[in-house]
Amino acid sequence: MPENSLTIRSLTARAVVAPLARPLRTASGEIPASPLLLIDVATEQGITGRAYLFAYTKLMLRALKTLIEDIDPLLKGKPCAPQERAAEFERTFRLLGRQGLLGMALSGIDMALWDVLGRALNQPVVALLGGTARPVTAYDSFGLIDIREDARRLEQALAQGFRAIKIKIGGGSLEADVKVVREVRGIIGDQARLMVDYNQSLTAPEAIRRLQALAQYDLTWVEEPVPAEDLIGHAAVRASRLVPVQTGENWWFAADLAKSIQAGASDHAMPDIMKIGGVTGWLKAAALAEIASLPVSSHIFIEASTHVMPVTPTALYLEYLDSAGAILKDPLPVIDGAVTARGPGLGMEWNESAVAKYAA
Protein backbone atom coordinates (compact mmCIF):
# COMPACT_ATOMS: atom_id res chain seq x y z
CA MET A 1 0.00 0.00 0.00
CA PRO A 2 1.44 3.43 -0.92
CA GLU A 3 2.77 5.31 2.09
CA ASN A 4 0.68 8.39 1.30
CA SER A 5 -2.63 6.59 0.87
CA LEU A 6 -5.54 7.17 3.22
CA THR A 7 -6.63 4.00 4.99
CA ILE A 8 -10.20 3.34 6.07
CA ARG A 9 -10.50 2.66 9.79
CA SER A 10 -14.26 2.46 10.31
CA LEU A 11 -17.68 3.05 8.81
CA THR A 12 -20.47 4.22 11.11
CA ALA A 13 -24.04 5.44 10.68
CA ARG A 14 -26.62 7.36 12.72
CA ALA A 15 -30.33 7.76 12.03
CA VAL A 16 -32.21 11.03 12.44
CA VAL A 17 -35.63 12.35 11.52
CA ALA A 18 -35.11 16.03 10.84
CA PRO A 19 -37.77 18.69 10.30
CA LEU A 20 -38.36 19.97 6.79
CA ALA A 21 -38.85 23.67 6.26
CA ARG A 22 -41.60 22.74 3.83
CA PRO A 23 -43.09 19.23 4.37
CA LEU A 24 -43.72 17.46 1.08
CA ARG A 25 -47.06 16.20 -0.16
CA THR A 26 -46.98 14.12 -3.33
CA ALA A 27 -49.47 12.16 -5.42
CA SER A 28 -47.80 8.98 -4.10
CA GLY A 29 -47.67 9.87 -0.41
CA GLU A 30 -46.65 12.48 2.14
CA ILE A 31 -43.17 13.12 3.59
CA PRO A 32 -43.76 15.16 6.77
CA ALA A 33 -40.13 15.09 7.94
CA SER A 34 -36.72 14.07 6.63
CA PRO A 35 -35.58 10.53 7.55
CA LEU A 36 -31.80 10.65 7.16
CA LEU A 37 -28.94 8.25 7.73
CA LEU A 38 -25.70 10.07 8.49
CA ILE A 39 -22.59 8.22 7.30
CA ASP A 40 -19.09 8.77 8.69
CA VAL A 41 -15.99 7.13 7.15
CA ALA A 42 -13.05 7.51 9.54
CA THR A 43 -9.47 7.00 8.36
CA GLU A 44 -6.33 5.94 10.19
CA GLN A 45 -4.93 9.37 9.32
CA GLY A 46 -7.57 11.13 11.43
CA ILE A 47 -9.72 12.46 8.57
CA THR A 48 -13.45 11.69 8.58
CA GLY A 49 -15.64 11.84 5.49
CA ARG A 50 -19.37 12.54 5.68
CA ALA A 51 -22.46 11.88 3.58
CA TYR A 52 -26.13 11.26 4.21
CA LEU A 53 -28.90 9.13 2.79
CA PHE A 54 -32.53 10.19 2.44
CA ALA A 55 -34.65 7.15 3.35
CA TYR A 56 -38.06 8.58 2.30
CA THR A 57 -39.69 6.77 5.24
CA LYS A 58 -38.56 6.28 8.84
CA LEU A 59 -39.37 2.57 8.43
CA MET A 60 -36.17 2.05 6.43
CA LEU A 61 -33.70 3.77 8.76
CA ARG A 62 -32.97 0.77 10.98
CA ALA A 63 -32.40 -1.52 8.00
CA LEU A 64 -30.13 1.02 6.31
CA LYS A 65 -28.11 1.54 9.48
CA THR A 66 -27.62 -2.20 9.93
CA LEU A 67 -26.62 -2.56 6.29
CA ILE A 68 -23.98 0.17 6.56
CA GLU A 69 -22.59 -1.41 9.73
CA ASP A 70 -22.44 -4.83 8.06
CA ILE A 71 -20.46 -3.38 5.14
CA ASP A 72 -17.85 -1.96 7.55
CA PRO A 73 -15.65 -5.12 7.56
CA LEU A 74 -15.44 -5.01 3.75
CA LEU A 75 -13.79 -1.58 3.92
CA LYS A 76 -11.64 -1.67 7.04
CA GLY A 77 -7.94 -1.37 6.25
CA LYS A 78 -8.44 -0.57 2.57
CA PRO A 79 -7.39 2.58 0.72
CA CYS A 80 -9.86 5.43 0.52
CA ALA A 81 -10.11 5.13 -3.27
CA PRO A 82 -13.70 5.64 -4.49
CA GLN A 83 -13.22 4.18 -7.98
CA GLU A 84 -11.53 1.05 -6.60
CA ARG A 85 -14.11 0.55 -3.87
CA ALA A 86 -16.98 1.01 -6.36
CA ALA A 87 -15.50 -1.64 -8.66
CA GLU A 88 -14.99 -3.95 -5.70
CA PHE A 89 -18.60 -3.50 -4.56
CA GLU A 90 -19.81 -4.25 -8.08
CA ARG A 91 -17.93 -7.57 -8.03
CA THR A 92 -19.01 -8.42 -4.47
CA PHE A 93 -22.70 -7.83 -5.10
CA ARG A 94 -22.95 -8.87 -8.76
CA LEU A 95 -25.18 -11.88 -8.05
CA LEU A 96 -27.40 -9.95 -5.63
CA GLY A 97 -27.64 -6.74 -7.65
CA ARG A 98 -27.15 -3.19 -6.38
CA GLN A 99 -30.70 -1.84 -6.31
CA GLY A 100 -32.77 -0.69 -3.37
CA LEU A 101 -31.26 -0.17 0.06
CA LEU A 102 -27.93 -1.68 -0.98
CA GLY A 103 -27.63 0.75 -3.89
CA MET A 104 -28.38 3.64 -1.55
CA ALA A 105 -25.78 2.46 0.96
CA LEU A 106 -23.06 2.02 -1.65
CA SER A 107 -23.78 5.45 -3.11
CA GLY A 108 -23.60 7.06 0.31
CA ILE A 109 -20.29 5.37 1.09
CA ASP A 110 -18.91 6.60 -2.23
CA MET A 111 -19.87 10.18 -1.41
CA ALA A 112 -18.22 9.92 2.00
CA LEU A 113 -15.01 8.55 0.43
CA TRP A 114 -14.85 11.50 -1.96
CA ASP A 115 -15.42 13.77 1.03
CA VAL A 116 -12.38 12.21 2.72
CA LEU A 117 -10.19 12.90 -0.33
CA GLY A 118 -11.31 16.51 -0.54
CA ARG A 119 -10.69 17.09 3.15
CA ALA A 120 -7.25 15.49 2.94
CA LEU A 121 -6.28 17.92 0.15
CA ASN A 122 -8.23 20.84 1.64
CA GLN A 123 -10.11 21.12 -1.64
CA PRO A 124 -13.79 20.93 -2.57
CA VAL A 125 -14.74 17.70 -4.35
CA VAL A 126 -15.61 19.69 -7.48
CA ALA A 127 -11.93 20.70 -7.74
CA LEU A 128 -10.87 17.04 -7.55
CA LEU A 129 -13.21 16.38 -10.48
CA GLY A 130 -11.53 19.07 -12.59
CA GLY A 131 -14.12 21.79 -12.07
CA THR A 132 -14.55 24.91 -9.99
CA ALA A 133 -17.06 25.83 -7.32
CA ARG A 134 -19.42 28.11 -9.21
CA PRO A 135 -23.06 29.12 -8.77
CA VAL A 136 -25.37 26.41 -10.13
CA THR A 137 -28.75 27.69 -11.29
CA ALA A 138 -31.51 26.08 -9.25
CA TYR A 139 -35.25 25.70 -9.32
CA ASP A 140 -37.35 25.74 -6.17
CA SER A 141 -39.09 22.42 -5.59
CA PHE A 142 -42.60 22.39 -4.10
CA GLY A 143 -44.96 19.56 -3.20
CA LEU A 144 -48.69 19.47 -3.90
CA ILE A 145 -49.81 23.08 -3.83
CA ASP A 146 -52.42 24.63 -1.57
CA ILE A 147 -52.63 28.05 -3.20
CA ARG A 148 -53.94 29.67 0.00
CA GLU A 149 -50.79 28.65 1.89
CA ASP A 150 -48.29 28.53 -0.94
CA ALA A 151 -48.96 31.74 -2.87
CA ARG A 152 -46.75 33.63 -0.41
CA ARG A 153 -44.06 30.94 -0.60
CA LEU A 154 -44.05 31.10 -4.39
CA GLU A 155 -43.61 34.86 -4.23
CA GLN A 156 -40.76 34.41 -1.74
CA ALA A 157 -39.07 31.97 -4.13
CA LEU A 158 -39.15 34.59 -6.89
CA ALA A 159 -37.77 37.15 -4.44
CA GLN A 160 -34.84 34.76 -3.73
CA GLY A 161 -34.00 34.87 -7.41
CA PHE A 162 -35.50 31.55 -8.51
CA ARG A 163 -36.58 31.75 -12.14
CA ALA A 164 -37.88 28.19 -12.27
CA ILE A 165 -40.44 26.47 -10.04
CA LYS A 166 -41.51 22.84 -9.84
CA ILE A 167 -44.79 21.73 -8.32
CA LYS A 168 -46.27 18.30 -7.73
CA ILE A 169 -49.67 17.50 -9.16
CA GLY A 170 -51.85 14.42 -9.61
CA GLY A 171 -53.38 14.38 -6.15
CA GLY A 172 -56.87 14.69 -7.59
CA SER A 173 -58.74 15.17 -10.84
CA LEU A 174 -57.59 16.63 -14.14
CA GLU A 175 -59.62 19.71 -13.33
CA ALA A 176 -57.72 20.12 -10.05
CA ASP A 177 -54.40 19.83 -11.93
CA VAL A 178 -55.45 22.48 -14.45
CA LYS A 179 -56.66 24.81 -11.70
CA VAL A 180 -53.44 24.69 -9.68
CA VAL A 181 -51.16 24.97 -12.71
CA ARG A 182 -53.15 27.98 -13.94
CA GLU A 183 -52.97 29.60 -10.50
CA VAL A 184 -49.22 29.00 -10.11
CA ARG A 185 -48.52 30.29 -13.59
CA GLY A 186 -50.51 33.40 -12.70
CA ILE A 187 -48.33 34.00 -9.63
CA ILE A 188 -44.90 33.34 -11.18
CA GLY A 189 -45.66 34.99 -14.52
CA ASP A 190 -44.71 34.07 -18.07
CA GLN A 191 -40.96 34.61 -17.69
CA ALA A 192 -40.35 31.96 -15.02
CA ARG A 193 -40.10 28.33 -15.99
CA LEU A 194 -42.68 25.92 -14.58
CA MET A 195 -42.24 22.16 -14.19
CA VAL A 196 -44.75 19.59 -12.91
CA ASP A 197 -44.16 16.23 -11.22
CA TYR A 198 -46.72 13.42 -11.15
CA ASN A 199 -44.57 11.15 -8.94
CA GLN A 200 -45.36 8.03 -10.99
CA SER A 201 -49.12 8.25 -10.32
CA LEU A 202 -50.63 7.87 -13.82
CA THR A 203 -50.93 5.43 -16.69
CA ALA A 204 -49.56 6.54 -20.04
CA PRO A 205 -53.00 7.16 -21.61
CA GLU A 206 -54.13 9.16 -18.58
CA ALA A 207 -50.90 11.15 -18.59
CA ILE A 208 -51.41 12.06 -22.24
CA ARG A 209 -55.02 13.05 -21.53
CA ARG A 210 -53.97 15.36 -18.72
CA LEU A 211 -51.05 16.87 -20.60
CA GLN A 212 -53.34 17.78 -23.49
CA ALA A 213 -55.06 20.17 -21.07
CA LEU A 214 -51.85 21.36 -19.37
CA ALA A 215 -49.64 21.98 -22.41
CA GLN A 216 -51.07 25.49 -22.86
CA TYR A 217 -49.27 26.60 -19.68
CA ASP A 218 -45.80 26.33 -21.26
CA LEU A 219 -44.40 23.58 -19.04
CA THR A 220 -40.65 22.98 -19.16
CA TRP A 221 -41.14 19.30 -18.33
CA VAL A 222 -43.45 16.73 -16.82
CA GLU A 223 -41.64 14.51 -14.36
CA GLU A 224 -42.29 10.78 -13.91
CA PRO A 225 -45.87 10.81 -15.24
CA VAL A 226 -45.92 6.98 -15.07
CA PRO A 227 -44.14 4.43 -12.82
CA ALA A 228 -40.38 4.91 -13.01
CA GLU A 229 -39.69 1.41 -14.33
CA ASP A 230 -42.25 1.80 -17.15
CA LEU A 231 -39.86 2.89 -19.89
CA ILE A 232 -42.38 2.03 -22.62
CA GLY A 233 -44.99 4.21 -20.92
CA HIS A 234 -42.56 7.10 -20.59
CA ALA A 235 -41.64 6.73 -24.25
CA ALA A 236 -45.33 6.83 -25.19
CA VAL A 237 -45.88 10.04 -23.22
CA ARG A 238 -42.79 11.52 -24.82
CA ALA A 239 -44.01 10.54 -28.30
CA SER A 240 -47.15 12.62 -27.74
CA ARG A 241 -44.89 15.72 -27.93
CA LEU A 242 -47.21 17.58 -25.59
CA VAL A 243 -44.67 18.37 -22.85
CA PRO A 244 -40.99 17.31 -22.56
CA VAL A 245 -40.58 14.28 -20.29
CA GLN A 246 -38.20 14.20 -17.32
CA THR A 247 -37.23 11.01 -15.51
CA GLY A 248 -34.24 9.50 -13.76
CA GLU A 249 -34.47 9.97 -10.01
CA ASN A 250 -35.12 6.23 -9.66
CA TRP A 251 -32.36 4.99 -11.97
CA TRP A 252 -30.04 2.55 -10.23
CA PHE A 253 -26.49 3.26 -11.39
CA ALA A 254 -25.59 4.31 -14.91
CA ALA A 255 -26.89 1.07 -16.45
CA ASP A 256 -30.48 2.21 -15.85
CA LEU A 257 -29.77 5.48 -17.64
CA ALA A 258 -28.44 3.50 -20.60
CA LYS A 259 -31.65 1.45 -20.71
CA SER A 260 -33.74 4.62 -20.59
CA ILE A 261 -31.76 6.16 -23.45
CA GLN A 262 -32.20 3.00 -25.51
CA ALA A 263 -35.96 3.10 -24.89
CA GLY A 264 -36.23 6.78 -25.82
CA ALA A 265 -37.97 7.29 -22.48
CA SER A 266 -37.22 10.95 -21.78
CA ASP A 267 -36.16 14.34 -23.07
CA HIS A 268 -34.38 15.21 -19.81
CA ALA A 269 -32.32 13.23 -17.28
CA MET A 270 -32.49 13.58 -13.49
CA PRO A 271 -30.04 11.26 -11.76
CA ASP A 272 -30.25 10.95 -8.00
CA ILE A 273 -26.72 10.88 -6.57
CA MET A 274 -27.90 8.46 -3.85
CA LYS A 275 -29.14 5.95 -6.44
CA ILE A 276 -26.84 6.53 -9.40
CA GLY A 277 -23.74 5.39 -7.47
CA GLY A 278 -22.58 8.48 -5.62
CA VAL A 279 -20.02 10.81 -7.20
CA THR A 280 -18.36 7.91 -9.05
CA GLY A 281 -21.65 6.72 -10.55
CA TRP A 282 -22.72 10.27 -11.38
CA LEU A 283 -19.64 10.80 -13.57
CA LYS A 284 -20.52 7.70 -15.60
CA ALA A 285 -24.12 8.82 -15.96
CA ALA A 286 -23.11 12.34 -16.99
CA ALA A 287 -20.95 10.94 -19.77
CA LEU A 288 -23.85 8.86 -21.11
CA ALA A 289 -26.19 11.85 -20.93
CA GLU A 290 -23.71 13.95 -22.91
CA ILE A 291 -23.52 11.35 -25.66
CA ALA A 292 -27.35 11.22 -25.81
CA SER A 293 -27.67 15.05 -25.65
CA LEU A 294 -29.87 14.82 -22.56
CA PRO A 295 -30.03 17.92 -20.34
CA VAL A 296 -29.19 16.85 -16.78
CA SER A 297 -30.76 18.19 -13.59
CA SER A 298 -30.02 16.93 -10.09
CA HIS A 299 -32.47 15.34 -7.66
CA ILE A 300 -32.36 16.67 -4.07
CA PHE A 301 -28.98 16.22 -2.19
CA ILE A 302 -28.09 19.85 -2.79
CA GLU A 303 -24.72 19.68 -0.99
CA ALA A 304 -23.23 16.88 -3.11
CA SER A 305 -25.03 17.95 -6.28
CA THR A 306 -23.36 21.35 -6.29
CA HIS A 307 -20.04 19.52 -6.73
CA VAL A 308 -21.01 17.26 -9.62
CA MET A 309 -23.22 19.61 -11.62
CA PRO A 310 -20.35 21.97 -12.65
CA VAL A 311 -18.53 19.01 -14.29
CA THR A 312 -21.68 17.68 -16.00
CA PRO A 313 -21.44 18.68 -19.69
CA THR A 314 -25.20 18.96 -20.24
CA ALA A 315 -26.07 20.40 -16.80
CA LEU A 316 -29.37 22.29 -16.65
CA TYR A 317 -30.82 22.79 -13.14
CA LEU A 318 -30.06 21.92 -9.56
CA GLU A 319 -33.20 20.92 -7.69
CA TYR A 320 -33.37 23.00 -4.53
CA LEU A 321 -34.99 20.90 -1.83
CA ASP A 322 -33.18 21.20 1.48
CA SER A 323 -33.62 17.86 3.21
CA ALA A 324 -30.65 18.04 5.59
CA GLY A 325 -30.27 21.68 6.57
CA ALA A 326 -31.74 21.10 10.03
CA ILE A 327 -28.80 18.87 11.07
CA LEU A 328 -25.98 20.83 9.38
CA LYS A 329 -23.89 23.50 11.08
CA ASP A 330 -24.08 25.77 8.06
CA PRO A 331 -26.76 24.94 5.44
CA LEU A 332 -26.13 26.03 1.86
CA PRO A 333 -27.65 29.43 1.06
CA VAL A 334 -29.51 30.38 -2.10
CA ILE A 335 -28.03 33.49 -3.70
CA ASP A 336 -29.89 34.95 -6.67
CA GLY A 337 -31.52 31.61 -7.45
CA ALA A 338 -28.27 29.66 -7.45
CA VAL A 339 -26.29 27.45 -5.04
CA THR A 340 -22.50 27.11 -4.88
CA ALA A 341 -20.41 24.16 -3.67
CA ARG A 342 -18.44 24.42 -0.47
CA GLY A 343 -15.33 22.65 0.70
CA PRO A 344 -13.26 21.08 1.84
CA GLY A 345 -14.70 17.81 0.56
CA LEU A 346 -18.46 18.08 0.22
CA GLY A 347 -18.46 20.96 2.69
CA MET A 348 -20.77 19.45 5.32
CA GLU A 349 -20.36 19.53 9.10
CA TRP A 350 -22.90 17.85 11.37
CA ASN A 351 -24.60 20.01 13.96
CA GLU A 352 -24.16 17.49 16.78
CA SER A 353 -26.73 19.08 19.08
CA ALA A 354 -29.34 18.88 16.30
CA VAL A 355 -28.28 15.30 15.49
CA ALA A 356 -28.85 14.35 19.13
CA LYS A 357 -32.17 16.20 19.24
CA TYR A 358 -33.57 14.46 16.15
CA ALA A 359 -32.01 11.02 16.69
CA ALA A 360 -34.27 8.16 15.59
CATH number, domain 127-351: 3.20.20.120
Q: Average pLDDT, stretch 289-293?
A: 98
Query: What 3 state SS string does 88-118 have?
Result: HHHHHCCCCCCCHHHHHHHHHHHHHHHHHHH
The answer to whether 299 is a known catalytic residue is yes
Mean pLDDT of the chain: 96
Write the pLDDT tens digit of every residue in 132-143. Answer: 999 999 999 999
Which pLDDT score, from 0 to 100, does residue 1 have? 38
Distance CA 217, CA 187 (A): 13
Which pLDDT score, from 0 to 100, does residue 28 have? 75
Which pLDDT score, from 0 to 100, does residue 4 have? 57
Write the pLDDT tens digit of every residue in 41-50. Answer: 999 999 999 9
Which pLDDT score, from 0 to 100, does residue 24 have? 83
Quickly state the pLDDT bin for 3 (edges 50, 70, 90): very low
Which pLDDT score, from 0 to 100, does residue 29 have? 76
Which pLDDT score, from 0 to 100, does residue 201 have? 95
pLDDT above 90 covers a percentage of the chain that reads: 94
* For residue 229, pLDDT beyond 70: yes
For 359, list phi and psi in degrees, rounded to 5: -55, 140
- Is-contact 40 48, C-beta < 8 A? yes
pTM of the entire predicted model: 0.95
Of the listed 65, 234, 284, 299, which one is catalytic?
299
Q: Average pLDDT, stretch 61-65?
A: 97
Write the pLDDT tens digit of every residue in 7-31. Answer: 999 999 999 999 998 878 887 778 8
Where are the domains positioned within the chain?
8-122, 127-351
**Terminal alpha carbon distance of the chain:** 39
Q: Average pLDDT, stretch 272-283?
A: 98
Q: Average pLDDT, stretch 75-99?
A: 96
The answer to whether 65 is a known catalytic residue is no
> Do the domains spanning 8-122 and 127-351 agree at the CATH topology level?
no
> Considering all CA atoms of the chain, what is the largest pairwise distance in Å, rounded to the nearest integer?
66
Q: For residue 121, what are the CA distances in angstroms to 5, 117, 125?
A: 12, 6, 10
Which pLDDT score, from 0 to 100, does residue 2 have? 44
Of the listed 65, 166, 168, 284, which one is catalytic?
168
Distance CA 117, CA 128 (A): 8
The class (CATH top level) of 8-122 is alpha beta
